[in-house]
A and B are shown apart, each in its own frame.
Chain A
């Protein structure tokens, strides 16, 4: 099953990248994710591994994932090593007005599970899709809020007597 949603964020692409590439911030915007821990010696970037879990229905699914593509500041992709078969990708592109189009793609399934796997994937899809949309909204709010704070800090620093 493949799920894809996007959103346009009022912030430059570098600002979005700084958040999505930081494993310590994942839990603050990724909806449905209950665990995202560094597993291994590389904390971030290509080759970094994380143990992640995602609540869906009666279970928390996920497993060990590895970052397989990290092209700053445009592409960030991972694939599963153990657990649920999954591929994920953040795709960032500049949009007019200094904004950024943020796309989150998620493909998941269980190889060899047959018809029950197909049914489970489709039954889970609305919930997963909702979490992907919610993740984008939360990421958007987080990035834009940080932009506002930075601008406010700059204004204060530049203001006479500030």
Chain B
């Protein structure tokens, strides 16, 4: 899952492929040129694999039939506990803003999505923004039936305009791969697109605070330097190439999947924030950002204080 980032003109998936595939700063040397060309080819393949964003692909019957399976993972493996769903308005569009944890296996998203779908019913439209790469992975096309669409401002606006609930993780790949010892820190990396989105669409923000995801593996580093070295940011919008200790790989570079440890996942949904009611007709984005981060960090600190042991909870 990923952030509602800012791109210019949307392409077939709500992204601008040219901005990521065609890199004007090419080739300083023949060997570098070759490597960059190979990367561009790979990026092109990835871009072509990203499905067209179509909200109609969400399939309530499919979600309903899969809920028992995800309920099992959520209840038995992660001993999930989701509180405060009553804070989400019963109807109408709403922007759910979460802190993201657990690497690419995103246990917090699964636990929350199951709880949301059972609480409000699969009939309530609910979408989640995900990183391009997630949607381009072979075998994960079923995510689209769950309402997962590529992260982009146009897709986010489209979902909210349709009256749906939308779950975004502003911290995206940056936050989800933070080291395990920073597990109790809300870190959006300064990404504020979600606030502009809420203001444009005039929808309330509901913070969703989760703990436990960063205990499902030992996350060592985001590997930002490695990602820069391999030009992943320019090619596939990846700012990180994380390194962790996880099952079954032991040393896991890139996190192309792992078996998460059965850490207890606790999620607290905070009261809805009506930005214009709380911050006036023209809210200051920085002020709102600081407020949301402070609220979420306080809630995360409280959840952390409840935990006695890592993994066990």
Contacts and interface: CB of A to CB of B under 8 A. Distances in A.
A94 B102 CA distance: 56
A113 interface: yes
A147 B204 CA distance: 49
A123 B119 contact: no
A83 B66 CA distance: 13
Contact of B121 (A82, A114, A119, A123): A82
B85 A119 contact: no
Given A60-B85, A61-B118, A82-B123, A119 B67 contact: no
User: DSSP majority for the B interface?
Assistant: helix
Interface of B: 61, 64-69, 71-72, 74-76, 78-82, 85, 111, 114-115, 118-119, 121, 123
Contacts of B79: 58
Contacts of A57: 71, 74-76, 80
A52 to B, nearest CB: 12
Nearest to B86: A35
A61 B68 CA distance: 11
B68 A58 contact: no
Contacts of A95: none
Interface residues of A, number: 23
A110 B67 contact: yes
Contacts of B69: 113, 116, 120
B65 A58 contact: no
Contacts of A64: 121
Contacts, number: 71
Nearest to B72: A120
A112 B81 CA distance: 26
Interface string A89-117: 00000000000000000000010111011
A123 B72 CA distance: 8
B222 to A, nearest CB: 29
A59 interface: yes
Which 6 pairs across A and B sit closest by C-beta, in order of nearness?
A57-B75, A58-B80, A120-B68, A116-B69, A58-B74, A58-B75
B123 A120 contact: no
A53 interface: yes
Nearest to A109: B68
Nearest to A56: B75
25 contacts: A57-B75, A58-B71, A58-B75, A58-B79, A58-B115, A59-B118, A60-B115, A60-B118, A61-B71, A63-B121, A82-B123, A110-B65, A110-B67, A110-B68, A112-B64, A113-B65, A113-B66, A113-B67, A116-B68, A117-B65, A119-B68, A120-B68, A120-B71, A120-B72, A121-B68
A61 B122 CA distance: 11
B118 A83 contact: yes
B68 A59 contact: no
Nearest to A116: B69
A84 B67 CA distance: 10
A80 to B, nearest CB: 11
| Chain B CB within 10 Å, residue with most, of A53, A61, A123 | A61
Interface in A112-143: 112-114, 116-117, 119-121, 123
Nearest to B62: A112
Given A60-B115, A60-B118, A61-B118, 7 more contacts: A83-B121, A110-B68, A113-B66, A113-B69, A116-B72, A120-B69, A123-B76
A58 B121 contact: no
A1 to B, nearest CB: 11
Contacts of B78: 58
- B66, B78, B118, B121: residue with the most chain A Cβ atoms closer than 10 Å: B118
